[in-house]
Amino acid sequence: MHFQQIGNFLQAEVHGLCVLDETQVGKSEICRCVPQHWYDDRMPALPDLHTHSTASDGTLGPAELVARAQAAGIRVLALTDHDTLEGMEEAAAEAAWQGLHFVPGVEISVTWDGRTVHIVGLRVDAGNAELQQGLAGLRRFRDWRAEEIGRRLGRAGYPGLFEQARAFSNGRLISRTHFARALVDAGFAETTREVFRRFLVSGKPGHVPGEWADLGEAVGWIRAAGGRAVIAHPARYGFTRSKLRRLIDAFREAGGEGMEVISGSHSRDEVFTMAAHARDTGLLASVGSDYHGPENSWIELGRLPELPGGLCPVWHDWSLDTVSTASPVAV
């Protein structure tokens, strides 16, 4: 069997098997990768392990999201709302009805090196007290931040937006996206992207700096809940190569295990760059659209490409032979 060197891995060209380079032994746990044809053998479609519902800033309810994913050919779906597990029970019940394998998840807001990054937790126990307590603290900050954004926009001549954003949230978690939709609805901008650029980023009238979880805290909550921690959309942060490696090193030291190689916000070149980072550092590779709803036509369910070769999928050791039950607890 012929092997080729790929980063710190050796890949068997015939069977697609990845084995550890001896230089990596003892540095991290790196799984043996599955055959390249594994997707065709085990899954009709690639999983989507990063989506949002109305429990945070998505526009589809949890059940609607699951039904749309099933119609798009997705058979393994994670709901990963921001700092909340509120939609788990509804999504799990719909997944059982649809015959879809449901993965309980969450996207946790983190402050690292003065920047906001997001860490996805997959296959978490939604009833875990440590995780729930940590997320509750983040939601309290979110409540204060939403009120402060409303106050700052009011002082800048845009009154009443907190109430409008709360209406868009349906009484749930209020995010900056809800303010963006409120500003578009009020005629102050044409798109939510324009709102973020003009109103909500640093130096603009509605910007309120985030004070989120510590990286180690977030990973610890996920691990306490039996889950697997994944860096969300790493290319989106715009970090230099050295800074991204520092994030990965800190993440792995805290117990993090994976990174999104494929994301709805990653370009083709970014996918291959993130794949190289995952190979070189021994992180598992995840796949997620970061879907928020049909209004964002550039990100749709069921349209993600396959992972590049030589990677170990984050789901490599999951039991995917059975569909979900109505329980939101990972199995």
pLDDT tens column, 172-209: 889 999 999 999 999 999 999 999 999 999 999 999 99
Instruction: Sort 179 into a burial class: Cβ within 10 Å, 0-12 / 13-18 / 19+.
Output: buried
pLDDT-based confidence at residue 275 (cuts at 50, 70, 90): very high
**Local structure of residue 236 (DSSP, 8 states):** G
Q: What are the domain boundaries of the chain?
A: 139-200
The span from the CA of 273 to the CA of 269, in Å, is 6
Residue 16 pLDDT: 34
Of the candidates 198, 155, 187, the residue with the CA atom closest to the CA atom of residue 176:
198
Say yes or no to pLDDT of 98 above 50: yes
**Phi-psi domain of 290 (left: phi exceeds 0; alpha: psi -120 through 50; beta: other):** left
What percentage of the chain has pLDDT greater than the value 70? 83
Residue 68 pLDDT: 97
pTM for the model: 0.84
What percentage of the chain has pLDDT greater than the value 90? 78
pLDDT tens column, 113-122: 999 999 999 9
Instruction: For 173-228, give the DSSP string.
Output: ---HHHHHHHHHHTTS-SSHHHHIIIIISTTSTT------B-HHHHHHHHHHTT-E
The span from the CA of 261 to the CA of 263, in Å, is 6
Residue 240 pLDDT: 98
CATH architecture of 139-200: Orthogonal Bundle (1.10)
Residue 170 pLDDT: 80
